[in-house]
Amino acid sequence: MHTMTNSKVKDLHKNNMGKSISKVLQITFTLVLIVVILYYGKSILAPLAIACILSMLFVAPSVWMEKKGLPRWATALIAVGILIVCLVGIGFLLSWQLQNFAEQISSLKQNLSQILSSVQHWIQDRLDIDQAKQQAIAEEQMKSQPTDGSTVKQLASGFFGLLVDFILVMVYTYLLLFYRSRLKKFLLKIAPSGDQKKTMEIAESASKVAANYMTGLAKMIVVLWILYGFGFTAIGVENALFFAVICGLLELVPFIGNLTGTAIAIVGVTAQGGDTNMIVGVILIYGFVQFVQTYLLEPLIVGNEVNINPLFTIFSLVAAEAVWGIPGMILAIPVTGMIKIICDRIPRLQPYGYLIGSDKKAKKSFWKRKK
């Protein structure tokens, strides 16, 4: 009898192990399938995902305008119009500053040739490769590059691809705002009868988190434009507004964007003939702005809308870049925050929400506290 009981326990243990392994395999297969779909469906899904985040920004304003008597098609059109005006304004500002670069092209070429000469001398002194060999290596590399106009074709193709994606994002944003009631009813129809209220609470919470994060990020970028603009102007950087706008916009990509923006500013200052003191000034301004951003702007403006620990913040950025490139990096943080909201509200997924999150207590932004 005792032997039979032990055998039943062992069989039960084996069955439980088999079910656990099967569940792990199913989850792994599902994740792999999702990644494959996201990777190969980038051209279709990326514009739709960006439009989803943008439409979340305008849900609350659209509801307010509709209460004032405006029809839904008008509120959706106003939201898209605001987006287009903002993006066109930024593009106009950058193109205006680039015209100043075009006027300085001769001096930039002269400065770059001096820098190149200094680099060649450094290579010759340190690596014992004379300038003739360096020139031969450079010419060999140039020969290996296509010279049949393919570069121009690639630029044209990239421009038209970007234009098509922009139009798609605007169209998707309009349609998502216009049909948001239908999408809400769809969620209610697919949700189990007893979980409809919970499903809507999860959807609304995730939408608010993404919208609040992006709104706070937009406010912070404007403040960074002001800080970088005053700082670069104070140390005498030419086209200071251009570099300030670039540094601010690259904050859309956490961690990597601010370093990239500063590197662009340093290269630009060097090409303009800036001395060592000016380069050091750019680095000091970067350090000061990062200090202000970390300890003042983020707590006061953004708050802890997306409460994710640094490990999963970096992991989500790397994974999103591998799948969708730059659009993925821009979407990584708000999407991960939405995933955490979903995990926190579904009991069986709560361990994953805890793994993604941090131990910091959520703080309301300065603007919410004022309200």
Please give the average per-residue pLDDT across 232-241, as a whole number: 84
| Mean pLDDT lowest among 96-105, 166-175, 326-335 | 96-105
Please state which of the ranges 105-114, 141-150, 186-195, 209-218 shows the lowest mean pLDDT: 141-150
pLDDT at residue 91 tops 80: yes
pLDDT digits (tens, 9 = 90+) for 267-295: 777 777 667 788 888 889 988 888 888 77
pLDDT in tens, 348-361: 888 888 888 876 55
The residue among 77, 48, 47 whose CA lies nearest residue 61 is: 77
Give bridge partners of residue 138 from the DSSP assignment.
Answer: none
Q: What is the pLDDT of residue 29?
A: 82
Query: What residue type is assigned to position 364 of the chain?
Result: K
- Nearest to residue 244, comparing CAs of 236, 232, 260, 254? 232
Q: Looking at residue 85, what is its pLDDT? A: 92
Averaged over 253-280, what is the pLDDT?
Answer: 78
Is the pLDDT at 174 greater than 90? The verdict is yes
Question: What is the reported pLDDT for 12?
Answer: 57
Instruction: Evaluate if residue 170 carries a pLDDT over 80.
Output: yes
Position 164, amino acid: V
The percentage of the chain sitting over the pLDDT mark of 90, rounded to a whole number, equals: 9
CB 102 within 8 A of CB 239: no
pLDDT value at residue 129: 64
Reference 216, options 18, 369, 46; nearest CA is: 369
